[in-house]
């Protein structure tokens, strides 16, 4: 049992080679350093319900903020980049 699981009682499975927050931070860093001028940069992900819940719970565990139980969408800001997560209800 890791420290986050001890704190929250929630087991967050990680999929793939890296942790989602680290991956988003890398994407954010690359986009901020892109050789272009933009007023804002937004990245949108349409994901299945299980993945939506997993990502939201990961954000909750790492931010230690009381969850608001989003119905279909939530977003995070990483640097100046906005990442939107939408539940794909199709």
pLDDT per residue as tens digits for the range 32-86? 998 889 899 999 999 999 999 888 888 777 666 666 778 899 988 888 899 999 9
Higher pLDDT, 41 or 18: 41
Which domain does 10 fall in, by range? 3-87
Contact yes or no for 47/54 (Cβ under 8 A): no
Which residue shows structure tokens 């139980």?
Answer: 69
- Helix, strand, coil tally for the chain in percent (to 5): 40, 20, 40
Is the pTM higher than 0.75? The answer reads no
- Rounded Cα gap, residues 32 and 43, in angstroms: 12
- pLDDT value at position 66? 61
Q: Are 43 and 77 in contact (CB under 8 A)?
A: no
């Amino acid at each position: 049992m890791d420290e986050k699981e001890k704190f929250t009682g929630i087991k967050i499975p990680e999929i793939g080679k890296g942790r989602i927050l680290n991956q988003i931070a890398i994407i954010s860093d690359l986009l901020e350093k892109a050789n272009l001028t933009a007023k804002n940069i937004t990245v949108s992900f349409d994901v299945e319900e299980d993945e939506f819940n997993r990502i939201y719970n990961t954000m909750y565990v790492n931010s230690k903020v009381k969850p608001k139980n989003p119905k279909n969408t939530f977003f995070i800001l990483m640097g100046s980049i906005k990442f939107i997560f939408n539940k794909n209800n199709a």
